Each structure stands twice: as C-alpha cells, then as structure tokens.
Structure 1
Amino acid sequence: MLATELSPLADLLDPAAYPHPVDRVEGLSTHISQLFLAGDFVYKLKRPVSLGFVDFSTLGRRRFYCEEELRLNRRLAPQLYLGVVAVVRVGDRIRIDGQGEVIDYAVRMRRFPQQALLTEYPLNEVLIDRLAERVARFHASLAPAPPNTPYGDPLAILAPMRDNFAPLRAALARCDDPQGVLSHRLQRLERWTQKRFAFLRPVIEQRRREGFIRECHGDMHRGNVVVLDGQPVIFDCIEFNASLRWIDTMSEVAFLTMDLAESGDSSFARRLLNGYLEVSGDYAGLRLLRFYQVYRALVRAKVCAIRILQADPAQTTRPSSPCGSTPSDAAGASSASPDGSSDPRECDPRAGDPSARAALCHYLALAQTCTGRHQPKLFITHGFSGSGKTWIGNRLREHLPIIQIRSDVERKRLCGVAPQGQPSVQQRAQLYTAEVSEQTYARLLALARELVEAGFSILVDATFLQYQQRAAFRVLAQRLNCPFRILVMQAPMHLLRERINARSHEGADASDADIDVLSLQIASREPLTDAEHQQAVFLNSEAPMQIEALLAHVAGDQGRRGSGGSPLRVGSHAGS
C-alpha cells in the first residue's frame, strides 16, 4: 500500500537525495519493505522488523539480506538488479550512496512500467513457451540441497500447509456462512491435505534423495514476471527465509501454473506445464503437482483471511476488503505473507469491491478444484512424420487437461541431445536406429503408465507405425481401465515432404526426421487392424480441422474403458 509515514527516511522523498537526476520521488511500503521510485531507478530498503519468518531488526541483517536479494535475483533478472548502496546521514539530511554515516542499505533496481507485468501484459503462446523454457533451464542450473540440511524434509513441507488452516478457520468464523458451506469446504481441504501427504510422503522423500530440492525462486507468479523486449524476466524472489526458497522444483511449477489458471485461461497453464516438462523431463514430479497447487491456493486464501482478521470484526460480514494489485509499479515491490507467497490481488481493506471474503471464497474454490481427479484417458497418434501429430496434440491440450509426451523429445533425451538441440552427425545416425527406437517406445510406455496411474490423461505423440508398438499401449489402457484412442493423422505425400523440408530448413522443431526417414517409415508401416479401426479417430491435417467434433467425440469416451467405440473421421478421409 502507499506509505503514509516514512519517517525517519522521509528525506528520501526529496529528489536531491539521489546521485542522479530525479524530477519526482514516489514512496511505497509493504509490511517488510520500503521502496522509493526515483526517476529510472527504484531503491528498496528493508524495514527494521522481526516477524518470526523474517528478521531485519539490525543494520547487519539488513545489509546481508540486501546482498542476498541481489545475489538471488541476478540469477534470473540481472538487468533489473543493479547493486546494493548505502543510505547515509549527512548532517541532518539522509542521502543515497554518498559520504556520511551509514544508517541503512538499499537494493538499487531498474524501474519498469506497470503494464509490462505479466498480470497486465497480454498472454500469448510464444511468451508462455519462453517462460516455460526459462523456468526449466533455471531449475536445471541449480544445485540440489546438501543432504545434511533440513530442506525438503516431509514434515517441514507439511508444517506450513497445516499452518494455513488456523487463520482460515478464524476468518470464516467472522464471515457470514449460514449453511456452513465454506467451513465444510475448508474441512474437506484439510482432510485432503493430510490424506494426500500420507500417501505422497514416500514420493516427497524420494524427490529429496534424487536432488529435486533446490534453491528456487520461491514466489514465482504472474506478479513477479515482467516482459522486457518480448522476453519474460522473473524477479523478486524470496531472500529473507531460506526454507521458503529451498523447495521442490515442482512446487514452483505448481505455483505458476495455479496462478496462470487463476487468471481465467487454463490453456496457458497447461501449455506452460507441457513446455516445462518437455524441456526438463521431470514427469515424475507430476505426482506432486496437485498437492502443491492446493497448498499455493490456500496460501492465497490465508492472505485474505489475515486481512479479515486484521479488519474491524463488525466490517467483515459485508464487502469491505477487496483485492487489488499490489504496488508493483517498481521492480521488486512485494508483499509477502509469512509463508513467503505474495498475492498480486492482495486484499487492501481501504479499497472497494471485491471483498476479502469474496477473494477468500475464490481461493478456497480454486484449491478445491485443484484436488479434483478426472477419469484419465490414453491417446496415441499414428502417422508419418509431417502428418500433424504434434500439431493436434498442441490443440488438444489447449482444451483438455492432457500431458503430451513426444517421441522426438524423448528419443533425443535418451541420446543426450537437448529437445531443440541440433544433433551431431554421429548422434543423428544413432537417433533412428532400431535399438534407440525400441528404447524410446519403452520410455514412452513407462511414462504413460506412471502418469495415468497418477491421474493424468496422456497423449503419446509418436508415429506408432508398428502393430506391436500400438498393442502395448492398448494393453496398458485395458490394465489401467481407462479409455483408449488412436488419433490417425493423414495428409497427402507431397504435403508430408513439403512439411518435412520446411521443418528441417527452419530447425526450430525437436523432430530431426528427414525425407530418408520418411521413406523408411513408408516401407515399414503396418496398417491398423480391423480391431484398431474401432478405436481410431481419423484426422486429415490437409483439411480444416474440426476440433469441436473431435472434442465432442473424446468427451463421449468418458464411460468407455480400454476398447470399443467407433471410428470418427474429421476432415476428408485420405485412407488409413
């Protein structure tokens, strides 16, 4: 919120207090920081507070955490975080970065416009893809937590989750809830959290052993992402509490995807998740995704609960504490809760609608949604390179909660090649050998089993030209009692060649299949059997694709298990 009392640092509102030209200074304040927006720069000071989860009570601590903020944020936003400067007293005046008695320290940052924040900036596919890759590569660059530290201990992970419920119960007691709908929802969420923790505890321990507890950002949401020159820049990580940033990398992904879904367009959340998984290969972490998404949504709810508890009890049963944007006009503006998670819609009791209660209800409902499990479905594609398998997968996951697994990506991963990387001549020769192909399909089958068992629908994007390759997945679907469909992608031969040549020329796709590979595919293809035709959806990628018809057909599979059904033809049929 806007600072009304900045004493004894009110002198920093004077443009003359800065070592560079400034026309006007604006002061902003959160419960742990003071910010001064001065020309092209922002100066962020730590408030001298000790709140349990954060301790800035001494000059030495404030300097240390300023330096930590600089160190940590330069990993992702070096262009924003410029340095740590002294705040000095010269006579009876306070100045930034001058000669005099040092009374405090500040992080100097480059300023950016409010409309560049991802909460304001129009989302698009290219931006989401860049963000997914940025997060995945950031996580890959981090060292695992040392084994002699408490980070990632299951009980340490559960503790803040449990801590969410006491203030939520207290806030709901002050709210109008005549039928007890909200209290009942909260009880279900608490039971779900305890039950899921007990079930997932071995997974949490395994993730710790395997090195997925890393020094992450800790507070990765839209309000802490700014778009500069078309690139997403992630800033304002948690510096004040190490346990809030030494977390499972999937917890960070859960926060960002939950926040994107909360924006009202789940397709971007699904796209980011799939993009992250494609780069990172961390499909095993999906077992924890919903667990952490619920936690992050409940932290948001708790922020609003705290505002309700801080307000006048007589005012909490009617709209009085709405959620508006936090003061993020300055780089680094943050308003963290004790859990370290800030809310770009943080409740401000001085503003108008919507109310804190409405926001609390919203996040409780979001958390409840994140607990939901749907009937997993298993899709595989069938078609030559260039027939549109990846394209249809990308379109489907915009509409459905599907994890897309690409053989081109996993084939490269097995051979030590980055998804978008260019293989060497030796690697290219190795990629499409019979041995590597067999290993690739075994990898795809193992991933499909793991993710369907975890409750996710899967689309396996591969040519599936051999009967035995397809049969293994059909048997898996039968064993797991889930609907199974073969998406048969078709296009004229001349169009396949054109697409493959164009893709090779652009060099922007994970597939390295060329015309020679296409020739091998044509020679080795085993057509669908009569039984497989009953599980097939025929799609002609030359014709305009009727996604709505395909979605309606897929929705009709809700009650089917493993086999049966009837084929669907979308677009003009070009033969199977």
Structure 2
Amino acid sequence: MSQRQPHDTLPREGDFDLVSLLPSLCAWHGEHGHDTDDASRSPRAVRERMNIEIQALESLMSGDEDRLRLSDLARWLEENITRLEPLLRARNTMLLPESWAHANPRSRLLDEGRVLVANAIDRDLDGAGVDGPLDPASDVASLLVGLEIRDEGRLSHQALDGYLRISGDYELPRLLPVFRVIECLSGARRALRRREEAGDDEQPALLAETMSACRRYLDLAEYHTEFRFPPLVIGVGVAGSGKSRFTRTLVSRLGAIRLCSDVERRRLHGIHPQEKKGDVPVDIFFDAATEKTYHRLAKCAGALLDAGLPVCIDGTCLKREQRDLLRHQAEGRGLPVLLISFEADEATLERRITKRAARQDVLAEESLAILARQREAFEDFSDEERLLLVRLDTTADNAAEILAGLIQEHVR
C-alpha cells in the first residue's frame, strides 16, 4: 500500500495537527493491513455496519420526513456497496483489525492551538466497526466528516490530499462516498442518542439542538451521494515558475487532489514521499523513469476522476506526449480539462531558483543548469491544446485568485 514511514518514531497518543496526524494514520494503515482468505469479508463488514447504523438511527427517529430521508440513503448505500464489491474484495489485503482511533483513544486534533476533535479522527469508539475488520477508507471518511460537520472544509480538503500523497492509495477515494455516508449516519445517531440519554423530561432546547445536529448530518450525507463532473487541471512550467505554490492553493479552494510528479517518481523507485531529497540514493530522472512517472500520473488521475474528485497535476509536463496522456484521462471520461501555463520572466525564475537552492543546500549553478535544460526540452502547445490553455503570470499580485476563478468559470 505504501512505503514504511521514514521516521523512527511516530506519536501514538496526545495532541496532533494535520501535519503529524496524517503520517501516523498512514503508518498505522500500512503496517496493520492484513490479508484474508474470505473474499467477501470486506463487503460483508461494510454492509453489517451500514445496517447497524440504519437500524439504530431508525429506532431513534420520530418524524416521517426524516425516516424517508434515511430510507433513501439506505437504498443509495446498498446500490453503491453492490457496485463497489469488486473493489472492496480486491482490497481485502488491506483490512485493519481495528481503527486507528481505537489504538489512540486519547488523541486530539488541533489547528493553530484550537481543539477541533477530541479523538483526532472523530470515530465513535463505542460504535460498530471500530474494532474491525475495516478498510482504511473508513478511518479517512471519519476524519473528513468530522472536519466537514464542523465547517472546516479547508482542513478536510488538505487532509484528503495529504493522506493520498503520503499513502499513494489512489483507489481509496472511490470508496469514500459510501464510507462518508455511513459516518454521517453514525454522527446523526450520536446526536439523537444524546436526547435519549438525557431522560424522559421535556427539554425543548435539547430536542431542537439534537434534531438540528441530526439533520445537518443527513444534509451532509445527501451531499456526498450527488454525482459530480470533476475537472482535470494540468500545470505546465519549468522550475521556479510557481507550479507547486499555486497548485497547492487549489487544494484548499477547490478541493482538488494534487498529483505531484516528483512524489510519484520517488514512489515508483521505492522512496517514501517524506524522505529527505538529499537521501535519494539513485538517479531517478532518466528518460524511461520519466515515462513511467507520467504513466503513473495518468493512472492515478483516472482513478481520482472516477471517484468524482478534481485533480491538479503538478509537473513540468514539457512534452506534448506527456500532456496528451494526461489530457485524455479527462476527455475520455467526458470531463472538463484545463491546461495552465505557469509563467514568469527570466530574472524572476533565476531569483526563485537561487533562493530554493540555498534553502535546500545545493549548488545554484546545478539548479540553473536544470532550468536551461527544461527550457530547451519544452515543446510548444499545439493548436488543439491552445483551445484549453490559460497562461498565468505568477508574478501578478492576485495570481491565486485569477487561477481559482478561471478554473471555476471553465468548469461552469
């Protein structure tokens, strides 16, 4: 699933932010996933948890409208679990004996000192499925729903993008709608259970509060059942052009998943994405490695688009063949695609590269030589590409806003 974490130790308890939580979560999933001879175990476990949550929630509901919404969600879940059974069976090798939260019951998720979740991924430690077997997507969905229900959409986007970049598990998002809906039902059940636990006394304020919380979870569940037409954004540009900086903004603003050519190139050679750049022991930039890298980027982009997620490619994409390979992943699915040429004047490029070289403790001359080779290797855009092309001056003060606006307009 993923390479073992390069760190000697990872926190198991206490306070986390996303930067420390995601490596811990990925490490747990990578180290504790195990194989099973029972091919139906994963689909069966998902159905069992779905049925437990639906029956429990139904017993707590009193309104016909809420029961109808629950019935519609139950039908959607059954249809989609059936559709995803082949993928669930194929992932039997990843089944976990227990949730990360079960092993870290006293964890908390913080953001800039604020406590967001008391149980860092917001799992119900007393609920069904927490002690396995479960797919890693269940833990990830719990974290995402926990952030979304608290109106922390920016952090939810960053969490999914970061988890996928570290784990390399780009098939997982296809399961997320199902697991997100189940986690929403769990949250709705917990909300209604608070009223039941308060006793039989008439408490109008508590009734209003719990019903409001329950319906927010139902609203979120229904949102995750909607079909989407996600765009593919292909970043094009030489070193220092601003690709990485500006594509990172698309994660928070648009909920895009950023596929980085340098990350996937390293992963193909067995190098963990969080390994320090100076520790890379082999030459991974020869032509055959570059070709394999772009084929992997295309495969991962296709999987993410199938999951309904916007995708942003962070790579130089200097060759038309590379851009066509990526572009066809969206066009073959009838999805929108946009080419963004990240551009800056020569002096700016050289200044950025020199600063980066100093930060990474490498020779500026070597980095500038790479820039020269990239300029020479760049193949100009074809007439067909120009129909999809936007040129972005990354030295402009409002470049990030321009980029997000252009993508949103193109999708519309």
Contact 1:308 1:357 in 2 (8 A): no
In the alignment, structure 1 residue 77 sits paired with structure 2 residue 16:
no
Name which of 119, 139, 147 aligns with 2:29: 139
1:181-200 matched pairs, under 5 angstroms: 181-200=65-84
Specify the code of the residue in structure 2 equivalent to 1:130.
S
2:224 alignment partner, SS class: helix
Specify the code of the residue in structure 2 equivalent to 1:194.
E
In the alignment, structure 1 residue 436 sits paired with structure 2 residue 289:
yes
Specify the code of the residue in structure 1 equivalent to 2:36.
P
Seen in structure 2, the aligned counterparts of structure 1 residues 367 and 388 have a Cα distance that, compared at 3 Å, is: same
Partner of 1:267: 154
Distance 2:235 2:22 in 1: 24
Partner of 1:160: 49
In the alignment, structure 1 residue 254 sits paired with structure 2 residue 141:
yes
In the alignment, structure 1 residue 514 sits paired with structure 2 residue 337:
no
Distance 1:170 1:426 in 2: 57
TM-score, normalisation: structure 2: 0.85
Name which of 100, 121, 133 aligns with 1:217: 100
2:390 alignment partner, SS class: strand
1:539-554 matched pairs, under 5 angstroms: 539-554=392-407
In the alignment, structure 1 residue 320 sits paired with structure 2 residue 203:
no
Contact 1:379 1:485 in 2 (8 A): yes
Name which of 149, 170, 174 aligns with 1:287: 174
Contact 1:304 1:356 in 2 (8 A): yes
1:120-135 matched pairs, under 5 angstroms: 127-135=17-25
1:24-423 matched pairs, under 5 angstroms: 76-77=11-12, 127-140=17-30, 142-147=31-36, 152-173=41-62, 177=63, 180-209=64-93, 211-218=94-101, 224-225=107-108, 244-246=130-132, 247-310=134-197, 315=202, 318-321=204-207, 355-422=209-276
Specify the code of the residue in structure 1 equivalent to 2:79.
K
Seen in structure 2, the aligned counterparts of structure 1 residues 295 and 148 have a Cα distance that, compared at 3 Å, is: same
Deviation at 1:481, TM superposition (A): 0.5
Deviation at 1:297, TM superposition (A): 1.2
Contact 1:258 1:296 in 2 (8 A): yes
Deviation at 1:139, TM superposition (A): 2.6
Name which of 362, 376, 380 aligns with 1:527: 380
Deviation at 1:532, TM superposition (A): 1.7
Contact 2:301 2:311 in 1 (8 A): yes
Greater alpha carbon shift after TM alignment, 212-221 vs 243-252: 212-221
Deviation at 1:217, TM superposition (A): 1.6
Cα RMSD between the aligned structures?
Answer: 3.4
1:463-483 alpha-carbon deviations (Å, 9 max, x no partner): 111111112223332211011
Partner of 2:3: none
2:78 alignment partner, SS class: helix
Specify the code of the residue in structure 2 equivalent to 1:136.
C
Deviation at 1:275, TM superposition (A): 0.9
Contact 1:415 1:427 in 2 (8 A): no
Partner of 1:450: 303
Seen in structure 2, the aligned counterparts of structure 1 residues 187 and 134 have a Cα distance that, compared at 3 Å, is: same
Contact 1:171 1:308 in 2 (8 A): no
1:486 alignment partner, SS class: strand
Specify the code of the residue in structure 2 equivalent to 1:145.
H
Which structure is larger by alpha-carbon Rg, 1 or 2? 1
1:193-222 alpha-carbon deviations (Å, 9 max, x no partner): 11111111111111113x343543246999
1:106-138 alpha-carbon deviations (Å, 9 max, x no partner): xxxxxxxxxxx77xxxxxxxx433332332233
Structure with the higher strand share, 1 or 2: 1
Contact 2:257 2:312 in 1 (8 A): yes
Distance 1:235 1:441 in 2: 35
1:487 alignment partner, SS class: strand
Specify the code of the residue in structure 1 equivalent to 2:218.
L
Distance 1:229 1:392 in 2: 23
Identity of counterpart residues, as a percentage? 25
Deviation at 1:293, TM superposition (A): 1.1
Contact 1:373 1:455 in 2 (8 A): yes
Distance 1:238 1:319 in 2: 24
1:191 alignment partner, SS class: helix
Deviation at 1:266, TM superposition (A): 0.5
Distance 2:254 2:237 in 1: 22
2:76 alignment partner, SS class: helix
1:481-528 alpha-carbon deviations (Å, 9 max, x no partner): 0111001101122322332333343349xxxx9333222211111111
Structure with the higher helix share, 1 or 2: 2
2:171 alignment partner, SS class: helix
Deviation at 1:240, TM superposition (A): 8.0
Deviation at 1:223, TM superposition (A): 8.5
Contact 1:376 1:452 in 2 (8 A): yes
Deviation at 1:407, TM superposition (A): 0.3
Specify the code of the residue in structure 1 equivalent to 2:407.
V
Distance 2:250 2:125 in 1: 39
Specify the code of the residue in structure 1 equivalent to 2:57.
L
Specify the code of the residue in structure 2 equivalent to 1:356.
T
Gaps of 5+ in 1: 1-73, 81-116, 119-126, 322-353, 560-576
Distance 2:126 2:38 in 1: 17
TM-score, normalisation: structure 1: 0.62
Contact 2:52 2:128 in 1 (8 A): no
2:257 alignment partner, SS class: strand
Contact 2:53 2:189 in 1 (8 A): yes
Distance 1:433 1:368 in 2: 47
Q: Which has the higher contact order (CA 8 A, sep 6+)?
A: 2
Distance 2:164 2:343 in 1: 27
Partner of 2:327: 474
Distance 2:194 2:311 in 1: 41
Distance 2:265 2:114 in 1: 29
